[in-house]
Structure 1
Amino acid sequence: MSTDATGIPTRRTYSYLGPAGTFTEAALGQVPEARDQIWRPVRNVAEALTDVVEGRSDAAMIAIENSIDGGVSTAQDALATMPGLRIVGEYLVPVNFVLVARPGVRLEDVSLIAAHPVAYAQCLQWLSAHLPEHAHLPAASNVASAVGIVDGVSDADAAISPPGILEHYDLELLASGIGDNANAVTRFVLVARTVAPPAPTGADKTSLIAELPDDHPGALLELLEQFSTRGINLSLIESRPIGDALGRYRFVIDADGHIQDERMADALLGLRRFSPKVIFLGSYPRADRAIVHYPERYSDDVFVEARDWLRGLISGEPEA
């Protein structure tokens, strides 16, 4: 823990999509160093990251990818356009939903359900089976749907929310586990101001964003070859429009490995020579702690030996 000028310990501040009870709060709860610190609820991803850039928070927890819907475009676009940020960790949160209502309401009383559109889509099969005549009232967030019921400002009879909502509000649990995919997971990342990456663990991931130099046949293949020719697996690649012209895209990439790995460093050098803009978002431990495996011909020793061989040729050393 850091200290102020008088030596008194100071608490760190973490921004997260609030209010209390969200999946983002559950992700922040997985960060050991965030416990007993200040948690600052915000309204959106841009606000959370702006807190970090402007120094109001030491780090922000944001959702970056969902196993059902893919990448979170608002987070990807914010990381692409806000300089001075670095991902320092990732966390996985199972996405389970509950149906809640004011105390005394029964399931058979429900006809209007408040829900964030994404949550509603992920529970549609359950709703069609158990409440086939219901209507949907869109909500701004998974927690706002329930808060509106508590505050009496919503006309809904019930709300779809994360299970954590029951720890913060007096609500009746009508049904649990109503999501259509029991294996749904959201990936969150902890974002801080730019710092040196943590030391490699052998179970690491590197995130970056790259643009193509121009639109020509094989341009994307050339970008991908920077990784494939060095034995690096990509666990995520998604395109996002740059916004300056139709048909111009940036690519959000997650690559298995750490920037201090020789193969990853070599790939990033190749990518830098190829792409007009590369944004390094960070190298950090994988949430699942799965060890990254690669062919022996791409080990660090092979890259080091190749560089030593080249230096020897340049210096005129006799070949063994």
Structure 2
Amino acid sequence: MTAHQGADRPRYAYLGPAGTFTEAALRQVVTPEEATYLPQVDVVAAIEAVRSGHADRAVVAIENSVEGGVSAVLDTLATGDPLMILGEVLVPVGFVLAGRPGTAIGDVRRVAAHPHAWAQCRRWLAAHLPGVVHVPATSNTAPAALLAGSGDPVGFDAALVPPPAVEHYGLAPLAQAVADNPHAVTRFVVVGPPGPVPPRTGSDKTTLVVHLPSNQAGALLEMLEQLATRGVNLSRIESRPIGDSLGRYSFSMDAEGHVEDERVAEALMGLHRVCPHVRFLGSYPRVDAPHGDVRPGTSDADFRAARTWLTALREGRAH
């Protein structure tokens, strides 16, 4: 994931500024000594930087254990010039309520936060700062950078920020560990231009975008049967509006397995036969354990044995 032909240092776009959870994910992929970090104003800009050639890779959040899929990332990957997911990393998520030095928590009336951060702290906020106003931010550290600025009014009194951002931006912690779920985690993916699929490891994930075969009753079942009958388990499936009219949806999904696995390949061919649009977003090593075992009759050996038997039948060598 870190090599780039024809350049001394690969360029990685990510949601900035410094101190975001995305930067923490990026540091798991490649160090600042190995690559050039390109902070972007939002996740769409990070992905489009790869499409335009201004970056070689992008690291973006795709799923949170509390809030689910990141719609902007799912929708941007589902349309436009094809891109591929090359890998994934997990980052634990926690927040601190921080302000400028000298700020007292009793003075806080407006809190800046990324919408996902606000959603993950809403119960704590309701209990400790009832009536506080949410000021949306473009990233988890954008309000920290504003608070650390010239001292001019910024339109809010405090911000929900990642713990490392407090020291990085010279802020004062007003309350620690304010997230409602201490076990929250965000999944980030490494996105690059189309190319060779990362080799199969035996613990892989395949990401797809699929449109339903029709708008009739049973269309979703018909689509899912292509996976279920081949023993392909889904670890994530989300509907997203196609956008051309009301009531038309596509499905973003993560399937357990690799495109080189017989069952996954057969399922992809089945989807291609019955669905009007299938976008393959890559097969890549997964960082967590598979949710289920391979169902009997759907291993690579089972598919190969069935194919050998069918060939023998066609050639008159078996009955």
What's the TM-score bracket when you normalise by the shorter of the two chains? over 0.9
1:200–1:167 CA distance, 2 compared to 1 (3 A): farther
Q: 1:33 to 1:231 in 2, by over 3 A?
A: farther
Whether 1:129 and 2:117 are equivalent positions in the alignment is no
Q: Give the alignment of 1:1-320 within 5 angstroms.
A: 1=3, 4=6, 10-32=8-30, 36-132=34-130, 134-151=132-149, 152-290=152-290, 293-319=293-319
The unaligned stretches of length 5 or more in structure 2 are: none
- Between 70-79 and 122-131, report the one with greater CA deviation: 122-131
SS, match of residue 282 in structure 2: strand
Distance in 2 (CA, whole Å) between partners of 1:303 and 1:3 is: 37
More displaced stretch, 119-128 vs 245-254: 119-128
Count, aligned residues: 315
Q: Answer yes or no: is the 8 Å Cα contact 2:15–2:41 preserved in 1.
A: yes
Paired residue secondary structure (1:308)? helix
Task: Name the CA distance, whole Å, in 1 between partners of 2:119 and 2:31.
Answer: 35
Q: Deviations over 1:142-180 (max 9, x none)?
A: 212222222234132211111231343111122221001
Quick check: 219-228 or 158-167, which moved more? 158-167
In 1, Cα distance between equivalents of 2:196 and 2:145: 40
**Cα distance in structure 2, aligned partners of 1:66 and 1:21:** 18
The one-letter amino acid paired with 1:271 is: L
Over the matched positions of the two proteins, sequence identity in percent amounts to: 51
Deviations 1:217-253 (A, max 9, x none): 1110011011111111111111111111221111101
For each residue in 1:272-320, what CA deviation from the matched residue of structure 2 results, as whole angstroms up to 9, or x when unmatched?
A: 101111000011111225586212311101100111111112222244x
Inter-partner Cα distance in structure 2 for 1:123 and 1:2: 39
TM-score in terms of structure 2 length: 0.93
- 1:68 Cα deviation from its structure 2 partner: 1.4
Over 3 Å counting, the alpha-carbon distance change for 1:262 and 1:61 in structure 2 is: same
Instruction: Please give the alpha-carbon distance, in whole angstroms, between the structure 2 residues aligned to 1:291 and 1:138.
Output: 35
Q: Please state how far the C-alpha of 1:33 moved relative to its aligned partner.
A: 6.7
| Shift in alpha-carbon separation, 1:81–1:147, aligned structure 2, 3 A | same
Tell me which moved more, 154-163 or 112-121: 112-121
Tell me the amino acid that sits aligned with residue 306 of structure 1.
A
- 1:131 corresponds to which letter in structure 2? L
Check conservation: 1:42, 1:48, Cα contact below 8 A.
yes
Name the aligned partner's letter for residue 119 of structure 2.
A
**Deviating more after overlay: 12-21 vs 44-53:** 44-53
Gaps of 5+ in 1: none
Q: Which amino acid aligns with 1:108?
A: G
Once structures 1 and 2 are overlaid, which stretch shifts more, 219-228 or 64-73?
A: 64-73
**Does the CA contact (< 8 Å) of 1:263 and 1:300 recur in 2?**
yes
Q: Contact between 1:23 and 1:162, CA under 8 Å: does it hold in 2?
A: yes
The separation in 1 between residues aligned to 2:43 and 2:4, in whole angstroms, is 26
Q: Structure 1 residues 123 and 183, CA, compared in 2 at 3 Å: closer, same or farther?
A: same
**SS of the residue aligned with 1:120?**
helix
Contact 1:202/1:292 (8 A) holds in 2: no
**Which of 183-192 and 98-107 deviates more?**
98-107
* Pair 1:167–1:312, CA change in 2 (3 A): farther
Partners of 1:108 and 1:159 in 2: how far apart?
14
| Cα separation, partners in 2 of 1:233 and 1:172, compared to 1, 3 Å | same
User: Per the alignment, do residues 36 and 200 of structure 1 end up closer, same or farther by CA in structure 2, a change over 3 Å counting?
Assistant: same
Q: Which amino acid in structure 2 is aligned with residue 191 of structure 1?
A: V
Distance 1:257 1:118 in 2: 29
Q: TM-score, normalised by structure 1?
A: 0.92
The residue matched to 1:183 in structure 2 has which SS? coil
Which stretch has the larger CA shift, 102-111 or 181-190? 102-111
Equivalent-residue separation in structure 1 for 2:266 and 2:32 (angstroms) = 34
**Please, what is the CA RMSD of the aligned residues?**
1.9
